[in-house]
A and B are shown apart, each in its own frame.
Chain A
Amino acid sequence: DAKTTQPPSMDCAEGRAANLPCNHSTISGNEYVYWYRQIHSQGPQYIIHGLKNNETNEMASLIITEDRKSSTLILPHATLRDTAVYYCIAPSGGSNYKLTFGKGTLLTVNP
Protein backbone atom coordinates (compact mmCIF):
# COMPACT_ATOMS: atom_id res chain seq x y z
CA ASP A 1 0.00 0.00 0.00
CA ALA A 2 1.09 3.55 -0.63
CA LYS A 3 1.98 5.37 2.58
CA THR A 4 -0.53 8.09 3.51
CA THR A 5 0.01 11.01 5.87
CA GLN A 6 -2.81 12.86 7.60
CA PRO A 7 -2.91 15.49 10.35
CA PRO A 8 -3.83 13.89 13.69
CA SER A 9 -6.70 16.27 14.39
CA MET A 10 -8.78 19.11 12.97
CA ASP A 11 -11.64 21.27 14.14
CA CYS A 12 -14.54 22.63 12.12
CA ALA A 13 -17.54 24.80 12.95
CA GLU A 14 -20.96 23.29 12.40
CA GLY A 15 -22.39 24.28 9.02
CA ARG A 16 -19.01 25.10 7.54
CA ALA A 17 -17.05 23.03 5.06
CA ALA A 18 -14.54 20.58 6.48
CA ASN A 19 -11.46 20.04 4.30
CA LEU A 20 -9.38 17.03 5.31
CA PRO A 21 -5.98 16.68 3.61
CA CYS A 22 -4.03 13.53 2.84
CA ASN A 23 -0.55 13.13 1.37
CA HIS A 24 0.19 9.98 -0.64
CA SER A 25 3.35 10.90 -2.54
CA THR A 26 4.34 7.28 -3.22
CA ILE A 27 1.03 6.29 -4.77
CA SER A 28 1.32 4.33 -8.01
CA GLY A 29 -0.66 4.92 -11.15
CA ASN A 30 -3.26 2.23 -10.56
CA GLU A 31 -3.85 2.75 -6.84
CA TYR A 32 -7.13 4.33 -5.85
CA VAL A 33 -7.51 6.65 -2.88
CA TYR A 34 -10.24 5.57 -0.47
CA TRP A 35 -11.73 7.47 2.44
CA TYR A 36 -13.46 5.84 5.38
CA ARG A 37 -14.59 7.30 8.66
CA GLN A 38 -15.20 5.82 12.08
CA ILE A 39 -17.65 7.37 14.46
CA HIS A 40 -16.98 6.56 18.10
CA SER A 41 -17.89 2.96 19.03
CA GLN A 42 -18.94 2.08 15.48
CA GLY A 43 -17.30 0.20 12.64
CA PRO A 44 -15.63 2.15 9.84
CA GLN A 45 -17.91 3.55 7.13
CA TYR A 46 -16.99 3.96 3.47
CA ILE A 47 -17.23 7.54 2.22
CA ILE A 48 -15.78 7.87 -1.27
CA HIS A 49 -12.93 6.81 -3.52
CA GLY A 50 -11.19 8.07 -6.66
CA LEU A 51 -8.31 7.45 -9.02
CA LYS A 52 -7.43 10.70 -10.76
CA ASN A 53 -10.64 12.61 -11.36
CA ASN A 54 -12.49 14.54 -8.70
CA GLU A 55 -15.45 12.63 -7.30
CA THR A 56 -18.65 13.66 -5.54
CA ASN A 57 -21.39 11.68 -3.87
CA GLU A 58 -24.12 12.36 -1.36
CA MET A 59 -21.66 12.32 1.53
CA ALA A 60 -18.61 14.21 0.32
CA SER A 61 -16.34 15.39 -2.47
CA LEU A 62 -12.85 14.13 -3.19
CA ILE A 63 -10.31 16.38 -4.85
CA ILE A 64 -7.15 14.67 -6.13
CA THR A 65 -4.21 16.76 -7.32
CA GLU A 66 -3.08 16.34 -10.89
CA ASP A 67 0.17 14.63 -9.81
CA ARG A 68 -1.90 12.37 -7.50
CA LYS A 69 0.45 12.98 -4.60
CA SER A 70 -2.26 14.42 -2.37
CA SER A 71 -6.01 14.64 -2.00
CA THR A 72 -8.61 16.50 0.03
CA LEU A 73 -11.88 15.16 1.37
CA ILE A 74 -14.53 17.87 1.57
CA LEU A 75 -17.62 17.66 3.74
CA PRO A 76 -19.54 20.68 2.40
CA HIS A 77 -21.73 21.43 5.43
CA ALA A 78 -20.36 19.67 8.48
CA THR A 79 -22.76 18.62 11.22
CA LEU A 80 -22.10 17.43 14.75
CA ARG A 81 -22.70 13.87 13.53
CA ASP A 82 -19.68 14.18 11.25
CA THR A 83 -17.37 14.14 14.27
CA ALA A 84 -15.28 11.03 13.64
CA VAL A 85 -11.84 9.71 12.73
CA TYR A 86 -11.30 9.97 8.98
CA TYR A 87 -8.95 7.55 7.26
CA CYS A 88 -7.28 8.06 3.89
CA ILE A 89 -6.15 4.73 2.38
CA ALA A 90 -4.42 3.76 -0.85
CA PRO A 91 -4.59 -0.05 -0.96
CA SER A 92 -2.37 -1.67 -3.56
CA GLY A 93 -4.91 -4.41 -4.16
CA GLY A 94 -7.92 -2.14 -4.44
CA SER A 95 -10.72 -2.07 -1.92
CA ASN A 96 -11.34 -5.75 -2.47
CA TYR A 97 -8.39 -6.49 -0.29
CA LYS A 98 -6.94 -5.59 3.06
CA LEU A 99 -7.06 -1.97 4.09
CA THR A 100 -4.21 -0.32 6.01
CA PHE A 101 -5.88 2.30 8.16
CA GLY A 102 -3.14 4.20 9.95
CA LYS A 103 -4.21 6.64 12.67
CA GLY A 104 -6.36 8.96 10.55
CA THR A 105 -7.57 12.48 11.37
CA LEU A 106 -9.90 13.11 14.28
CA LEU A 107 -12.35 15.71 12.99
CA THR A 108 -14.27 17.50 15.71
CA VAL A 109 -17.26 19.53 14.57
CA ASN A 110 -18.06 22.24 17.10
CA PRO A 111 -21.48 23.88 17.60
Chain B
Amino acid sequence: GAGVSQSPRYKVAKRGQDVALRCDPISGHVSLFWYQQALGQGPEFLTYFQNEAQLDKSGLPSDRFFAERPEGSVSTLKIQRTQQEDSAVYLCASSVPGYEQYFGPGTRLTVT
Protein backbone atom coordinates (compact mmCIF):
# COMPACT_ATOMS: atom_id res chain seq x y z
CA GLY B 1 0.00 0.00 0.00
CA ALA B 2 0.93 3.67 0.02
CA GLY B 3 3.65 4.81 2.35
CA VAL B 4 3.87 7.95 4.45
CA SER B 5 3.44 11.04 2.34
CA GLN B 6 4.40 14.61 3.16
CA SER B 7 3.59 17.89 1.52
CA PRO B 8 4.92 20.14 0.32
CA ARG B 9 8.24 18.48 -0.49
CA TYR B 10 9.97 21.84 -0.59
CA LYS B 11 9.03 25.09 1.07
CA VAL B 12 10.76 28.44 0.94
CA ALA B 13 9.59 30.97 3.51
CA LYS B 14 10.71 34.46 4.25
CA ARG B 15 11.82 35.10 7.79
CA GLY B 16 8.79 35.87 9.94
CA GLN B 17 6.27 33.94 7.83
CA ASP B 18 4.17 31.10 9.19
CA VAL B 19 4.36 27.67 7.55
CA ALA B 20 2.28 24.48 7.76
CA LEU B 21 3.70 21.08 6.88
CA ARG B 22 1.39 18.13 6.27
CA CYS B 23 1.88 14.44 6.98
CA ASP B 24 -0.36 11.63 5.74
CA PRO B 25 0.55 8.48 7.69
CA ILE B 26 0.03 4.91 6.59
CA SER B 27 -3.63 4.00 7.01
CA GLY B 28 -4.26 2.35 10.35
CA HIS B 29 -1.03 3.51 11.97
CA VAL B 30 -1.88 4.73 15.44
CA SER B 31 1.47 6.32 16.21
CA LEU B 32 2.83 9.37 14.43
CA PHE B 33 6.17 11.11 14.95
CA TRP B 34 7.78 14.32 13.74
CA TYR B 35 11.54 14.75 13.46
CA GLN B 36 13.77 17.63 12.41
CA GLN B 37 16.97 16.99 10.46
CA ALA B 38 19.53 19.75 10.09
CA LEU B 39 22.07 19.53 7.29
CA GLY B 40 24.68 16.86 7.98
CA GLN B 41 23.01 15.68 11.18
CA GLY B 42 20.80 12.76 12.11
CA PRO B 43 17.07 13.32 12.60
CA GLU B 44 16.03 14.71 15.98
CA PHE B 45 12.73 13.94 17.66
CA LEU B 46 10.15 16.72 17.89
CA THR B 47 6.84 15.23 18.97
CA TYR B 48 4.75 12.05 19.16
CA PHE B 49 1.04 11.31 18.78
CA GLN B 50 -0.94 8.24 19.61
CA ASN B 51 -4.18 8.65 17.70
CA GLU B 52 -5.18 12.28 18.29
CA ALA B 53 -3.41 12.57 21.62
CA GLN B 54 -0.06 14.34 21.67
CA LEU B 55 1.79 12.26 24.24
CA ASP B 56 5.22 13.85 23.99
CA LYS B 57 6.22 17.26 22.69
CA SER B 58 9.49 17.50 24.54
CA GLY B 59 11.51 17.93 21.35
CA LEU B 60 9.72 21.00 20.04
CA PRO B 61 12.44 23.69 20.09
CA SER B 62 10.24 26.65 20.97
CA ASP B 63 6.65 27.73 21.40
CA ARG B 64 6.69 28.79 17.76
CA PHE B 65 6.36 25.11 16.88
CA PHE B 66 2.94 23.50 17.11
CA ALA B 67 1.69 20.12 15.93
CA GLU B 68 -1.78 18.68 15.73
CA ARG B 69 -3.57 15.51 14.65
CA PRO B 70 -7.22 16.31 15.29
CA GLU B 71 -8.82 13.17 13.85
CA GLY B 72 -6.02 10.74 14.58
CA SER B 73 -4.84 10.45 11.00
CA VAL B 74 -3.38 13.43 9.09
CA SER B 75 -1.02 15.63 11.09
CA THR B 76 0.15 19.17 10.59
CA LEU B 77 3.33 20.74 11.94
CA LYS B 78 3.05 24.50 12.11
CA ILE B 79 5.92 26.90 12.59
CA GLN B 80 5.09 30.49 13.40
CA ARG B 81 7.33 33.47 12.68
CA THR B 82 9.96 31.32 10.99
CA GLN B 83 13.63 31.99 11.70
CA GLN B 84 16.70 31.03 9.69
CA GLU B 85 17.61 28.38 12.24
CA ASP B 86 14.33 26.60 11.40
CA SER B 87 15.77 25.67 8.00
CA ALA B 88 15.90 21.87 7.96
CA VAL B 89 14.21 18.77 6.63
CA TYR B 90 11.09 17.88 8.61
CA LEU B 91 10.38 14.16 8.66
CA CYS B 92 7.17 12.41 9.60
CA ALA B 93 6.98 8.74 10.60
CA SER B 94 4.12 6.43 11.50
CA SER B 95 3.89 3.02 13.08
CA VAL B 96 1.70 0.36 14.57
CA PRO B 97 2.37 0.29 18.32
CA GLY B 98 5.36 -1.91 19.06
CA TYR B 99 6.57 -2.06 15.49
CA GLU B 100 9.09 -0.20 13.38
CA GLN B 101 8.58 3.36 12.20
CA TYR B 102 7.97 4.13 8.55
CA PHE B 103 9.25 7.49 7.38
CA GLY B 104 8.03 9.86 4.72
CA PRO B 105 10.36 11.62 2.28
CA GLY B 106 10.42 14.80 4.34
CA THR B 107 9.73 18.47 3.69
CA ARG B 108 12.77 20.64 3.09
CA LEU B 109 12.15 24.05 4.63
CA THR B 110 14.39 26.95 3.68
CA VAL B 111 13.95 30.23 5.53
CA THR B 112 15.44 33.22 3.74
Contact = CB atoms under 8 A, between A and B. Distances in A.
Interface in A58-111: 85, 87, 94-104
Interface string B24-51: 0000000101010000011111001000
Of the four ranges (under 10, 10 to 19, 20 to 34, 35 or more), the interface on chain A belongs to 20 to 34
Of the four ranges (under 10, 10 to 19, 20 to 34, 35 or more), the interface on chain B belongs to 20 to 34
Contacts of B97: 96
Interface of B: 4, 31, 33, 35, 41-45, 48, 56, 59, 91, 93, 95, 97-106
Interface of A: 34, 41-46, 49, 85, 87, 94-104
18 contacts: A42-B105, A43-B93, A43-B105, A44-B91, A44-B103, A95-B99, A95-B100, A95-B101, A96-B31, A96-B97, A96-B99, A98-B33, A98-B45, A99-B33, A99-B45, A102-B42, A103-B41, A104-B42
